[in-house]
Amino acid sequence: MTISTATTTTSPSRAPLAGFAVQLVLLAVLAVYSGLSSWGWVAGVAFGAVLCGLLHRAALPALGWANMVTFGRAILTGGVFALVASAASGTVVPAALLVTIAAVALAMDGVDGQVARRTGTSSAFGARFDMEVDAFLILVLSVSAALEYGWWALAIGAFRYLFVAASWALPWLNAALPPRFGRKVVAAQQGVMLAVVVSGLLPAWLAIAALAVALGSLTWSFGRDIAWLYQASRVRHSARSRWSAQLVTQ
């Protein structure tokens, strides 16, 4: 007897609703142990509603195991978002609790990819889902760091969203990038450094230095990719020009 590794976990109509219920339970637990402010509740509920609404709108045949792992990471990210929103509104939030939840979400980052490869369920949607959860978690952690060390730290989380915004005006930024190990290292470094900084374990000067290193490495990584994309666009433009000239002369 053979068992398909692509077995789905739940129906597309139930998964987002179940996820939203789990998000509410997580917020209730956080409220008991940390005392979420009203802004924390608003942020957490809004995040869960948008997340589950977008998943429902995607109208997937079903969420596979890999996407369910990513979904779990997204729900934890919603909890981190609620805690940071509470901290921003003046509520004292236990750093250990915030960092623990963020660390679990970060640690699960490699799990969904492995599950997708082992079960043969890799997809463009899954890769995009994973990337968006990563980006939002980094943004939330950078906000937490910015509350303590200055709003310049917010640039760490905003970098990716600024890149996306720039791609609307400059379509050549949307071209596919070649895989690079350095890009993966820099991406992983951001979450780790931000989590350590937010934990409060580092003295202020060392925390600021860590944030500066994270921002500097991110600037280098994006700068290198943008330069490559620009050069690739020039090559494509030159090739199209030569092809057009050949057609005219024929």
The tokens for 221 are 């990584």
| pLDDT value of residue 248 | 57
| pLDDT value of residue 2 | 35
Query: Percentage of the chain with pLDDT > 70?
Result: 90
Backbone φ and ψ for 47, nearest 5 degrees, come out as -60, -50
Q: CA-based Rg of the chain, rounded to a whole angstrom?
A: 21
3-state helix, strand, coil in the chain (%, to 5): 80, 0, 20
For the residues 36-47, what does the mean pLDDT come to?
95
Contact 141, 191 (CB under 8 A): yes
Residue 9 pLDDT > 70, yes or no? no
Which candidate, 104, 238, 219, 234, places its Cα nearest to that of 163? 219
Three-state DSSP at 80 gives helix
For residue range 186-242, what is the model confidence (pLDDT) as tens digits? 988 899 999 999 999 999 999 999 999 999 999 999 999 999 999 999 888 787 776
Query: Hunting for tokens 């990719």 — which residue is that?
Result: 225
For residue range 65-88, what is the model confidence (pLDDT) as tens digits? 888 899 999 999 999 999 999 999
As to burial, measured by CB atoms within 10 angstroms (0-12 exposed, 13-18 middle, 19+ buried), residue 117 is: exposed
Residue 15 pLDDT > 60, yes or no? yes
Model pTM score: 0.87
| Residue 61: count of CB within 10 angstroms of its CB | 8
